[in-house]
Amino acid sequence: MSDESAAVGDDAPVLTIDGPSGAGKGAVSARVAEALGWHLLDSGAVYRAVALAAVDAGLDADDEAALVELCEGLELDFARGEGGVSVLLAGKPVDQRLRSEEVSVMASQVAALPRVRSALLDLQRRFRRAPGLVADGRDMGTVVFTDAPYKVFLEASVEERANRRYKQLKEQGESVKFLRLFRDLEERDRRDRERAVSPTVPADDAVVIDSTDLGLEQVVDQVLALVRQRSGSEKTKS
Ligand code: C5P
């Protein structure tokens, strides 16, 4: 067994944080992973990386066979640096392009293809390593890590999520229209919730947290309390 495979821990604990766009999953996951000293998987970045590689290769969003091949050869890495986690594609940082509108649209299109989702399962599961993993996405608790002992579904009203995104984009100096953002979010929510494969729905054993009226710290505290409470009851059981 190589060192690499020895480091992969199928029984390392996983905390899944799923939910719609703009509910604050990214910020909460990063804070919780830091507090626990666990690894972090941003699965949205995985779909975005596939989309970016597909754009660069000139592939169409519905060319499922070519996209699956691309997923199988994807050279994706996450590097921790001063300013947070950076995404590397074939060794090169691609963070800025990953967030572009073109890549966002392509990501949601490729994410709807069942064979693309299957092709990315192993890659995502390889992030499960001791001492633990915080996995952020849409189907972490329902498909990728169904046996995770800790599952959260993070929600917030569409108005609040649109408001947060609006402020964020304004701060970055982008000119945006609130109504447009609101409608786009509603549309993406509908597509993610209603798609045939891996729709964005809470796992049966997930704790749903509504962050509409909560600050980041309050959500982080609630998630950490859940992990402590469930790990306490696991110890009592054994
Ligand atoms: O979370 P983020 O906006 O970065 O995700 C990019 C795209 O990837 C979204 O359109 C979402 O539908 C898709 N996605 C997914 N499953 C995941 C994570 C993201 O389908 N686990």
pLDDT in tens, 16-56: 999 998 899 999 999 999 999 999 999 999 999 999 999 99
Model confidence at 6, pLDDT cuts 50, 70, 90, reads: very low
Question: 93-145 pLDDT, tens per residue?
Answer: 999 899 887 888 899 889 989 999 999 999 999 999 999 999 999 999 999 99
Mean pLDDT of 188-205: 88
CA angle 108, 40, 199 (to 5 degrees): 30
Residues with CB under 6 A from ligand 1: 21, 43-44, 47-48, 107-108, 111, 137-139, 192
- Note the pTM of the prediction, 2 decimals: 0.90
Smallest CA separation from ligand 1 atom 12, residue: 108
Decide: 185 and 161 in contact? Cβ < 8 Å: yes
Rounded distance, CA 180 to CA 16, Å? 30
CA of 179 to the centre of ligand 1 (A): 22
Mean pLDDT of 180-188: 87
State the DSSP string of 45-99. HHHHHHHHHHHHTT--TT-HHHHHHHHHT--EEEEEETTEEEEEETTEE-HHHHT
CA of 104 to the centre of ligand 1 (A): 9
Ligand 1 atom closest to 111 (CA):
20
Decide: 124 and 44 in contact? Cβ < 8 Å: no
Listed in sequence order, the residues at least 6 apart from 211 whose beta carbon sits closer than 8 Å to its beta carbon are 23, 24, 28, 154, 155, 156, 160, 219
CATH class of 14-227: alpha beta
Question: 46-90 pLDDT, tens per residue?
Answer: 999 999 999 999 999 999 999 999 999 999 988 887 777 899 999
